[in-house]
């Protein structure tokens, strides 16, 4: 008898929730646009921001700290 080969599954993708606030008019506009394109609002938003999400994942961000001067320099 030969041992069975074990298939390696895909690594589970972790999702995070992001909440945004939109006005009632913006929501109505989003829903109408989604219906006209036969898609969901979530897919529509993800498609719109995909270039920003994909291209900057490995970007190293540097933050410049400036010292706060609490005293007035006269001389």
Instruction: List the domain range (segments joined by +) for residue 31.
Output: 24-54
Number of structural domains the chain divides into? 1
pLDDT at res. 1: 63
Is 38 within the bounds of a domain?
A: yes
Average pLDDT over the chain, rounded to an integer: 86
Is 18 within the bounds of a domain?
A: no
Percent of the chain at pLDDT > 90 equals 49
Say what the alpha-carbon torsion angle 38, 42, 46, 49 is, to the nearest 10 degrees: 100
Is 42 within the bounds of a domain?
A: yes
pLDDT in tens, the chain (75 residues): 667 777 788 889 899 999 999 999 999 999 999 999 999 999 999 999 998 888 877 788 887 777 666 666 666
pLDDT at res. 37: 96
| Per-residue model confidence as pLDDT tens digits over 40-56 | 999 999 999 998 888 87
- What is the pTM for the complete model shown? 0.59
Q: How far apart are CA 54 and CA 32, in angstroms?
A: 27
Say what the alpha-carbon torsion angle 37, 43, 44, 50 is, to the nearest 10 degrees: -140
Is 14 within the bounds of a domain?
A: no
Is 49 within the bounds of a domain?
A: yes
From the CB of residue 31, how many other CB atoms can be counted at a distance below 10 Å?
13
Q: How far apart are CA 72 and CA 8, in angstroms?
A: 66
Is 5 within the bounds of a domain?
A: no
Is 9 within the bounds of a domain?
A: no
């Amino acid at each position: 008898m030969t041992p069975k080969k074990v298939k390696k599954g895909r690594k589970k993708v972790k999702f995070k929730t992001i909440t945004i606030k939109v006005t009632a008019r913006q929501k109505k506009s989003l829903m109408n646009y989604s219906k006209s394109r036969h898609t969901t609002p979530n897919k529509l938003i993800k498609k719109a921001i995909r270039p920003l999400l994909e291209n900057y994942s490995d970007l190293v961000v540097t933050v410049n700290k400036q010292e706060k001067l609490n005293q007035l320099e006269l001389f």
